[in-house]
């Protein structure tokens, strides 16, 4: 599905901001505190430390051939986004080296590692969320997956480990340990930024009074409920399992509703990392869209008690 001009403009903006933040982190935190990095970015830091090669140039020298090799795998839009992300990262690496900024870590590598993970992870997360990359090991991983069936995660991990081991040529073991902390925080922030949308709770309910519980949730919480057809393994009886997604703050109210309707109901509450759809990622219909069920819900509740 082709994106419209507004969506493309939004993606370009996110990639630009992400590259600016990631580049800032590399120059003013990683390089300033001798913290390594994985992937092709880590190779640029090795070249900078050992041969004084500007990362703004080496990132292009390393990435452009890889992008050209992998252009069939990336597809047209991803290719354009990756090219743009690579050039923007190179641009901002040059800019941040020309603009002196001092991050007051006071020589504390723990603070530096945490800041590098936060800033770099948010920046990269914005790039990935827009559908872009900065090339490098992502392309190698995609080629390995397509040609040899090797999972991308395994290739990325192996490449990062190799680069980090090579980084011991210019940093000592304590700096490497802080680099690993940086990588952990970086990964968590990338995951968080990619999830991006509303997170909540899913709730599964098994009850002999499923209709009454569904009506009460519809009426009191204004949340949609779905019936899942199931069969008890022991009883061999068909049942309706209720599934509903709601905000974390609504769980207590939901449990009270269920308990008042059927104290013997079986409830399973699930963590939902991301929720997309009406009432979560876009505005719901006017409040009370289920209010027509209120009378039914009350009658069902009274009938079953």
Q: Give the pLDDT confidence score for residue 282 in this predicted structure.
A: 55
Q: Which of 89-103, 150-164, 249-263 has the lowest mean pLDDT?
A: 150-164
Percent of the chain clearing pLDDT 90 (strictly above): 49
Tell me if 130 sits within 8 A of 44, measured CB to CB. Answer: no
Q: Give the pLDDT confidence score for residue 53 in this predicted structure.
A: 95
The DSSP annotation for 96-113 comes to HHHS------TT-HHHHH
- Give 35-58 pLDDT, tens digit per residue: 999 889 999 999 999 999 999 999
In the predicted structure, residue 287 carries a pLDDT above the cut 50: yes
What sign does the CA torsion over 56, 57, 61, 64 have?
Answer: positive
In the predicted structure, residue 186 carries a pLDDT above the cut 60: yes
Q: Give the pLDDT confidence score for residue 29 in this predicted structure.
A: 95
Tell me if 36 sits within 8 A of 171, measured CB to CB. Answer: yes
Q: Give the pLDDT confidence score for residue 272 in this predicted structure.
A: 79
> How big is the CA angle at 14 (ends 196 and 281), to the nearest 5 degrees?
30
Segment 7-36 mean pLDDT: 94
Residues 6+ apart with CB under 8 A from 146: 73
Measured CA to CA, the distance from residue 89 to residue 59 in angstroms comes to 8
- Give 227-276 pLDDT, tens digit per residue: 999 988 888 888 899 999 987 778 888 999 999 999 999 999 998 776 66
Measured CA to CA, the distance from residue 70 to residue 146 in angstroms comes to 11
Q: Give the pLDDT confidence score for residue 45 in this predicted structure.
A: 94
Q: How high is the mean pLDDT of the chain?
A: 84
Confidence class for position 217, pLDDT limits 50, 70, 90: very high
In the predicted structure, residue 1 carries a pLDDT above the cut 60: no
The DSSP annotation for 232-296 comes to -TTT--EEEEEEEEE-GGGHHHHHHHHHHH-TT-EEEEEEEEEE-SBTTTBPPSSTTTTGGGHHH
- Pair of tokens at residue 200: 């909540």
Segment 280-292 mean pLDDT: 57
CATH architecture of 198-304: 2-Layer Sandwich (3.30)
* C-alpha 140: how far from chain center: 21
Strand residues in 160-248 grouped as ranges (E): 198-206, 226-231, 238-246
Domain ranges of the chain: 5-195, 198-304
Lay out the sheet containing 198-206: strands in order across.
226-231, 238-246, 198-206, 266-275
What sign does the CA torsion over 39, 40, 42, 43 have?
Answer: positive
Most confident listed range (4-13, 16-25, 120-129): 16-25
Query: CB-hemisphere CA count at 13 Å for 167?
Result: 30
Compute, in degrees rounded to 10, the torsion defined by CA atoms 220, 222, 228, 233. -30
Determine how many CB atoms are found less than 10 A away from the CB of residue 279: 19
- Give 108-141 pLDDT, tens digit per residue: 999 999 999 999 999 988 988 888 888 778 778 7
Confidence class for position 297, pLDDT limits 50, 70, 90: very low
């Amino acid at each position: 599905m082709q994106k419209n001009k507004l969506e493309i403009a939004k993606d370009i903006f996110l990639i630009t901001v992400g590259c600016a933040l990631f580049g800032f982190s590399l120059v003013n935190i990683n390089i300033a505190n001798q913290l390594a990095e994985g992937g092709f970015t880590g190779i640029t830091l090795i070249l900078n430390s050992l041969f004084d090669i500007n990362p703004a140039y080496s990132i292009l020298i390393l990435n452009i051939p890889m992008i050209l090799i992998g252009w069939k795998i990336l597809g047209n839009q991803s290719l354009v986004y990756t090219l743009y992300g690579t050039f923007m990262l190179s641009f901002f690496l040059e800019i941040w080296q020309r603009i002196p900024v001092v991050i007051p870590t006071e020589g504390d590598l723990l603070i530096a590692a945490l800041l590098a993970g936060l800033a770099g992870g948010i920046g990269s997360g914005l790039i990935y969320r827009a559908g872009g990359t900065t090339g490098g090991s992502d392309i190698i991983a995609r080629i390995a997956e397509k040609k040899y069936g090797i999972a991308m995660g395994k290739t990325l991990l192996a490449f990062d480990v190799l680069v980090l081991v090579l980084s011991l040529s210019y940093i000592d073991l304590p700096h490497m340990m802080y680099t690993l902390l940086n990588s952990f925080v970086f990964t968590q922030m990338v995951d968080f930024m990619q999830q991006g949308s509303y997170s909540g709770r899913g709730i599964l309910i098994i009850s002999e009074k499923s209709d009454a519980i569904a009506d009460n949730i519809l009426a009191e919480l204004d949340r949609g409920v779905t019936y899942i057809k199931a069969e008890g393994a022991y009883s061999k009886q068909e049942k309706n399992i209720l599934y509903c997604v709601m905000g974390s703050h609504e769980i207590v109210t939901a449990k009270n509703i269920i308990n008042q309707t059927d104290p013997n109901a079986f409830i399973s509450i699930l963590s939902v990392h991301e929720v997309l759809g009406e009432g979560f990622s876009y505005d719901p219909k006017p409040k009370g869209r289920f209010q027509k069920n209120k009378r039914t819900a009350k009658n069902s509740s009274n009938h079953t008690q």
